[in-house]
Amino acid sequence: MRIERAELTFLNLPMVQPELWAWGRRDSYTVGLVELHTDSGVVGLGEVIVAMGPNANVVRAIFEQMAEIFVGESPLASERLTAKVMSTGWYAFHRTAALVLGGLEMACWDAAGKHLGQPVCALMGGALRLSFPSMYFVQGNDDLDVMIAGARDAVERGFRTIYFKVGIDEERDVELVHRTREALGPGPRIRVDANEAWSPGTAVRILRRMAPAVIEYIEQPTLMHDIEALAQVRARSGVAVAANQASWGKYAILEIVRRGAADVIMTDLHQEGGLMAMKKVLGLCEMAGLPFVNHAYNATTLTLSAHMHVMSTSPVCFLAMQGHPDYFADDYVREPLDYGDGTMKFSERPGLGVEIDPDKAARYRAAFEAEGMSTAYAASRGGRVLAVPSQ
């Protein structure tokens, strides 16, 4: 089986309501659908990251350069293809390369599984589990009563982990966490994500104020480049720390482990550059005795299914996984992921077990062509400037 051609299609998926975070807001998701066509008739599916940047034209240029390396090769040789891409010079720009390479490599695994009649998890050693508990992402709102009611409703539906974006305003953030704990009682877990908004001192001060509410962990409170800051927050705040943006790439993760800078490692196939790269991180976490939680760049059915196929093969994925498919008003697949009872499940059909709905894909391709790329960064709109840390 050989790859004959690779296609990239940009889609704009509608959201139920805007998503608010420390860097701004987004009103829709731009997704890059990858289709690898093979000489056996099998088409492998993957996704590249577009919504978080860089510009869609840049993503396409990178894709076309990498696709030349994939064409003519076997999708069964993902390690060889990754090495070929990196050896052309992309090794020096891993963070950017991984956003695109991850989608191409994902499509290789999907094609391989379909060709062999096996789910991807079987090709990676076999599944230890077929479902995962999921966190519930409570959407930001200026009215905290609305957010607390959303958290209470999620718990009543079966979710046991509630997730908030913080780094908006200190008093607002502290009040939100304490009122949520009071409303939910001692059982459900609360995790918060500051998206690098805080300086180390600010993070320690705010987290000490939040600590009596018993937080599961704070995700990336400080700048992604400063691992020592994470270590300081972990040592001084009394709250567990999860590294996400800081754990972008295996060498950064190794350094986090060496310095004891995090209690939880968070990354994904797009930060690492593929499913196999993600699998290797899971092995590192297992050796270090650290739990792993996936990072959901895209909360689409395709990407979350890929995450679960890899995570199912490791014992370190026992905390609630990240993902919020209910943010989408619609997906572009025939069977969108449902986690209404607090649990995510993946298909054991060959490959990633996901099929595209061609009518929906055409509709959301037209939306991209009409609207252009949807961005999540405030600074890219109307000349605004926004930097972190902001507190």
C-alpha 230/C-alpha 259 separation (Å) is: 10
User: Taking the CB of residue 358, how many other CB atoms lie within 10 A of it?
Assistant: 10
Examine residue 170 and state whether it is found in any structural domain, yes or no: yes
Using DSSP's 3-state secondary structure scheme, residue 119 falls into strand
Determine the pLDDT at residue 60: 97
C-alpha 157/C-alpha 143 separation (Å) is: 22
Examine residue 388 and state whether it is found in any structural domain, yes or no: no
Determine the pLDDT at residue 22: 67
Residues 187 and 213 in one domain: yes
User: Which amino acid is present at 388?
Assistant: V
Residues 264 and 225 in one domain: yes
Determine the pLDDT at residue 145: 98
Helix (H) or strand (E) holding 19: strand 3-21
Residues 278 and 374 in one domain: no
Examine residue 46 and state whether it is found in any structural domain, yes or no: yes
Q: Name the residue range of residue 51's domain.
A: 3-117+357-380
Residue pLDDT, tens place only, 13-47: 998 877 766 667 777 889 999 999 999 999 999 99
Residues 292 and 337 in one domain: yes
Q: Of 4-18, 22-36, 122-136, 366-380, which one has max mean pLDDT?
A: 122-136
Lowest mean pLDDT: which of 258-262, 325-329, 353-357?
325-329
Cβ neighbours for 64, distance < 8 A, ≥ 6 positions apart: 8
Question: CATH code at 57?
Answer: 3.30.390.10
C-alpha 132/C-alpha 342 separation (Å) is: 9
Determine the pLDDT at residue 385: 59
Examine residue 391 and state whether it is found in any structural domain, yes or no: no
138: DSSP letter: P
Identify the bridge partners of residue 35 per DSSP, sorted by sequence position.
Answer: 7, 45
Q: Exposure of 169 by Cβ count < 10 A (0-12 exposed, 13-18 middle, 19+ buried)?
A: exposed
Mean of the pLDDT values across residues 217-232? 97
Residues 164 and 105 in one domain: no
Residues 82 and 159 in one domain: no
Q: What is the DSSP string of 332-367?
A: SBSS----TTSEEE---SSBT---B-HHHHHHHHHH
Question: CATH code at 248?
Answer: 3.20.20.120
User: In Å, what is the CA distance from 282 to each residue of 264, 285, 312, 363?
Assistant: 12, 5, 10, 37
Mean of the pLDDT values across residues 276-291? 98
Residues 94 and 151 in one domain: no
C-alpha 190/C-alpha 214 separation (Å) is: 7
Residue pLDDT, tens place only, 305-315: 999 999 999 99
* Averaged confidence pLDDT in the chain: 94
Would you place residue 77 in the very low, low, confident or very high pLDDT band (cuts 50, 70, 90)? Answer: very high
Cβ neighbours for 183, distance < 8 A, ≥ 6 positions apart: 148, 151, 152
Examine residue 352 and state whether it is found in any structural domain, yes or no: no
pTM for this one? 0.94
C-alpha 373/C-alpha 59 separation (Å) is: 11
Would you place residue 213 in the very low, low, confident or very high pLDDT band (cuts 50, 70, 90)? Answer: very high
User: Which amino acid is present at 17?
Assistant: Q
What is the count of structural domains for the chain?
2
Determine the pLDDT at residue 91: 93
Would you place residue 347 in the very low, low, confident or very high pLDDT band (cuts 50, 70, 90)? Answer: very high
C-alpha 47/C-alpha 170 separation (Å) is: 36
Residues 210 and 312 in one domain: yes
Determine the pLDDT at residue 379: 55
Determine the pLDDT at residue 333: 97
Determine the pLDDT at residue 380: 56
Residues 298 and 158 in one domain: yes
